[in-house]
Amino acid sequence: MTRIAIVVGSTRPNRNAASVAEWVFDNAPKDSGAEYELVDIADFNLPLLDEPMPPAMGQYSKDHTKAWAEKVASFDGFIFVTPEYNHSVPAALKNAVDFLYAEWNNKAIGFVSYGSAGGTRAVEAWRLIAAELQMADVRAQVFLTFGNDFADMSTFQPSEGSTGALQDLFSQVTAWSEALKTLRG
C-alpha cells in the first residue's frame, strides 16, 4: 500500500493549517490504492534544529529527531499544507524538513497552500527545497485565498473549485509516489 502523509505545516496558535489539512484528509480518495495519514509537526515538539551533525550524514542523536525520522521514513509521498509567511515558507515546517535528509529522498510531494495570494510564493520556494532533497514535486497544486476560501479571512470554507482541484493533486502524488518506489528499492 502506498502511504502518503498530509503534513500540517504550521504550529502557530489559531492556525488555519489544521482545518485545511483535515479537509484535505476528508477528501482523500478511498479507493486509490493509497493510504493517507495526517501528520502534525506540532506533535513532534521539534526545537530549532539542534542536531550536531548535518542531516545528510543520517547520524541523529536526539530522540525527537529519531521519532520524526521514523515517521517521515514510513511514507512514500507527501502533501504539505503550507501557509505563506512573508512571501515564503513557514519557519516551523522548514525547520522540521531541515532535520532530515535521506527520509525525504526519491519521494513525491504536492502542495495545498493558503494565504493572501493563495500561498503560491511559498510553493515556489518549496519546489526549490524539494529539488535539493531529491523529491519529485507534482504539477497539480491547490491554492486557497483568504478572499475566496476563508470567511472573515480566518474561518476555512473551501470553494467547490478548490475541492475539485484536490483530485488532480491526489492522483499525481499517488502516481509519482508509486513510481518512485523503484528508486528506493
Domain boundaries, the chain: 2-184
Average of per-residue pLDDT values in the chain: 96
Beta bridge partners of 155: 151
Q: 10 Å Cβ neighbour count for 151? A: 9
Largest CA distance in the chain: 48
Q: Which long-range contacts (CB under 8 A, 24 or more apart) does 168-171 make?
A: 168/140, 169/79, 169/110, 169/111, 169/112, 169/138, 169/140, 169/141, 169/142, 170/28, 170/29, 170/32, 170/34, 170/79, 171/32, 171/140
pTM: 0.96
Q: Which three cell numbers stand for residue 22?
A: 483535515
Q: Which three cell numbers stand for residue 54?
A: 548535518
Q: Which tens digits make up the pLDDT trace of 16-41?
A: 999 999 999 999 999 888 999 999 99
Res 93 pLDDT > 90: yes
Fold for 2-184, please state it.
Rossmann fold (3.40.50)
When pLDDT is cut at 50, 70 and 90, the band that residue 138 belongs to is: very high
Q: 10 Å Cβ neighbour count for 118? A: 21
Question: Regarding beta strands 150-151 and 136-145, do their DSSP bridges make them parallel or antiparallel, or are they unpaired?
Answer: unpaired
